[in-house]
Structure 1
Amino acid sequence: MKVINQSARRTDNNLLVITHLSQLLYYVTGFGGLLVPLILWLTQKDKVEGMDEHGKAIVNFQLTLILIMVLSIPGIFLFGLGILGLIYVGFAGFIIPIINGVKAGNGEAPSYFGTIRFLS
């Protein structure tokens, strides 16, 4: 009698790439850059190998960007320094998900530098 392991995880690098690139929805629709990766991570973390690690990194990165944006808005009134934070969020929020999407496609671990670890 053959026993089938029901808890086996599948390797799906394409879904990991989609999860990373779904962060770019902020630039297309104005929302969804946190919501879509969060839903993908919560529904697939037990089914896809590596999704838990990638999903946590994405959520931590998005929460860090939101925190920087919230702190930068009042920072604009303090010598205009908040504008630098908003510029960082604009560039980092666009470039880093693309880099990590390519890494996920190659089977590498994500590297979101400068991210506060809300989830570990």
Structure 2
Amino acid sequence: MKSVKPGRGPSMMGGIGSIIAGIFGIFWTIGTVSMGAPWFFSMFGIVFIGAAVVQAIYNFSNATGKNRFSEFDIVDGSEETDPMQEYINGKSHGDSISESLLSSNTETPAFCPYCGARLGEGFEFCSKCGKKIPD
């Protein structure tokens, strides 16, 4: 399974933005209480501060941690099949999605199952990503 992880730079900027949002929430809460505004205006500031703390922890963990959280997990058909794609294609649950990439008149896949590049006749390796084409 491959995963797409956010970059360390954008995560650090998200963490800094979260700190700024938390400071805004503090000033908002202090301002509403000192002006005598209704309680729900003050609660908005408290919720803002809570969201800022959670986002700061998440973003700073991704910016500085060794194992970052992934935004998306990308899997090959051999690793994990997609039930919705199988339903759309009308395949049974045991069939692999990568089989749908095979050309019907040849044994060689028409497209690379890893990157999607078009393959020539008799290719053993993809010319784009360089991975071995499964038999």
Name the TM-score, length of structure 1 as normaliser.
0.37
Greater radius of gyration (CA): 2
Kindly indicate which of the two structures has a greater share of residues assigned to helix: 1
Kindly indicate which of the two structures has a greater share of residues assigned to strand: 2
Name the TM-score, length of structure 2 as normaliser.
0.34
